[in-house]
Structures are given as structure tokens and as C-alpha cells.
Amino acid sequence: MRRGEGRRYNRGQTPTVRLRCARTHSPAAWLAPLRLSRCNPFVRVQALLVLVAIATISGSGASQAAADPWRTLYRPLKVPRLAPGAECPASKPDDSVDFDGFGIAQGVGPGPAYPVGLNVADGTLTLGPARNFGSRDWMGQKVLWFVLPQYRGPVLIRGRQVDGSYRVRFDRGSLPPLELRIAPNESVYWDGQPRGSRGRPSYTRLRAPGCYGYQIDGRTFSRAIVFLAVRTRS
């Protein structure tokens, strides 16, 4: 085809359009704002860097979630609220589980993680004096947390007062921790313990008697267990 002549296309043929990037050595062209063009290498490089950054951030978030299995367990506390003086709706024991077969006393609540040590007849927890736990204010009592072998993941336990403003604390100390964790492979061992079941001894620490609730969170469940805390009779 001669210079100056237009290219001829057969009928039904779609013309192909090719863009050519103009070359310029003018300083003004370098100072002009970058235009979104396939001919502008700087825009293409910047877009590529943005995509790489997004992929890196997404991968980093997934890696952090995999590295910290506890993050997804921190759901909002949904322990019920009651007016002061109202009757405490204590949770019932789970009669569907053969706790004797596991070699432990009966647990309370729907599972798969149970507090063992509450009075299953009336859902009470009798508190020992604070001085027994190295504290001036926080009374306590032993509670064994039992996890059925069907659930092998982490367990996060927190709680608060149902008819007041106090939080539930755990284990020893003048100001005990606000949470209790049971890792996937964490357990004490006892005679008659079935394979795969877990037990975590602990202390439940409370500032005052009243109606309280545990919230137990796992990967696939969130449970609330309500109990009535009373002082030890002197």
C-alpha cells in the first residue's frame, strides 16, 4: 500500500486499531499531570503497585487470622440482663451427656464446653473469701471446664453480672484476668478420662454475690450459662 492511501478492508472484516504512543522530549510534558492511558508507563506501573499492595494486605489479613485462632472468638457479650432483685434464671445441667462415663461430676449448660463445680440442683456457685485467693476484693471458687471430645478447637470464656455491673474474672491474683482460654491441646489428665476430652481447672472470681453469666465461645458456637453466686456460710 502506497503512502497516503487508506487501507482497504474486505466486506465483513473488522478493522484493527493500533495506538501509538507519541514520543516527546518537552519538559512541559513531564510536568503535566499523568493521564490514564495505556501509553503512559508511569500509570501502568502505579496501577500494578496498587494491585500488589491490595494482594499483600489481603494475604496478610488471612495469615494473621490463621496465626491467631482467638481473634474470631471475641464476639460481643450476649449474657442476659435482669433488674436487681429479680429471680436468677440459673442454667440447667445437661442430662444428655454421661458425665460419669467421663469420670467427672455433672456439667451445666448446653455444651460442648461445660463448667463443672456448680450445684446442679439449683445452679449456685458458693464463693470462698477473697483472702484465700490473694485478694482483698475478689472472692472465688474452683471450677473445672470440661470440653467434649467432639470439639477440638479453642475455647474462650468470659462473663459478667446479670443483675449488676461487675465482670466475671478468672484464676488467681489481686485483680484476676477477665478471660479464660482453653487451647486445642490443653488439658489435665484424670483416671477414666476418655481419649480426646479436655479438662481445664480454674477459679471463678467475683466481686459480689449475685446472678452472673458465663459466655463460652468456640469456632462454631457461642453459649451463655447463668448461675447464682452466694457467699460461704460462716
Render pLDDT for 103-155 as a digit per residue (tens, 0 to 9).
Answer: 999 999 999 999 999 999 999 999 999 999 989 999 999 999 999 999 999 99
- Per DSSP (E only), the strands in 103-207 are 113-116, 124-127, 139-147, 155-161, 169-170, 180-182, 198-206
**DSSP β-bridge partners for residue 199:** 146
Instruction: Tell me whether residue 128 is in a domain.
Output: yes
Confidence of residue 55 (pLDDT cuts 50, 70, 90): low
Looking at the fold, whether 44 and 155 belong to one and the same domain comes out as: no
Higher pLDDT, 72 or 24: 72
Least confident piece of the model among 11-25, 133-147, 162-176, 204-218: 11-25
34 pLDDT more than 60: no
Instruction: Tell me whether residue 4 is in a domain.
Output: no
The strand pair at 180-182 and 155-161 is best described as antiparallel
Looking at the fold, whether 181 and 143 belong to one and the same domain comes out as: yes
201 pLDDT more than 90: yes
Higher pLDDT, 3 or 145: 145
Looking at the fold, whether 131 and 214 belong to one and the same domain comes out as: yes
Q: What pLDDT is attached to residue 90?
A: 97
37 pLDDT more than 60: no
**DSSP β-bridge partners for residue 28:** none
Looking at the fold, whether 48 and 143 belong to one and the same domain comes out as: no
Distances 230 to 93, 125, 129, 136 between C-alpha atoms, Å:
19, 6, 11, 17
Looking at the fold, whether 183 and 208 belong to one and the same domain comes out as: yes
222 pLDDT more than 60: yes
| Residue 180 contacts residue 91 (beta carbons within 8 Å) | no
Looking at the fold, whether 145 and 60 belong to one and the same domain comes out as: no
Looking at the fold, whether 122 and 42 belong to one and the same domain comes out as: no
Indicate the SS3 state at residue 22. Answer: coil
Looking at the fold, whether 109 and 162 belong to one and the same domain comes out as: yes
170 pLDDT more than 70: yes
Distances 168 to 75, 90, 110, 209, 230 between C-alpha atoms, Å:
16, 16, 20, 11, 14
Q: What pLDDT is attached to residue 108?
A: 97
Looking at the fold, whether 130 and 54 belong to one and the same domain comes out as: no
Instruction: Tell me whether residue 40 is in a domain.
Output: yes
Higher pLDDT, 175 or 192: 175
Residue 189: give its domain's CATH number.
2.60.40.2550
Instruction: Tell me whether residue 116 is in a domain.
Output: yes
Structure-block grid coordinates of residue 180:
479464660
What is the number of domains present in the chain?
2
Instruction: Tell me whether residue 167 is in a domain.
Output: yes
Q: Name every residue whose Cβ is closer than 8 Å to that of residue 214 and which is 6 or more positions away in sequence.
A: 79, 109, 115, 157, 158, 159, 168, 224, 225, 227
Residue span of the structural domain in which 61 resides: 27-67
What would the mean pLDDT of 69-93 be, rounded to a whole number? 94
Look at the block and give the residue holding cell 477473697.
130
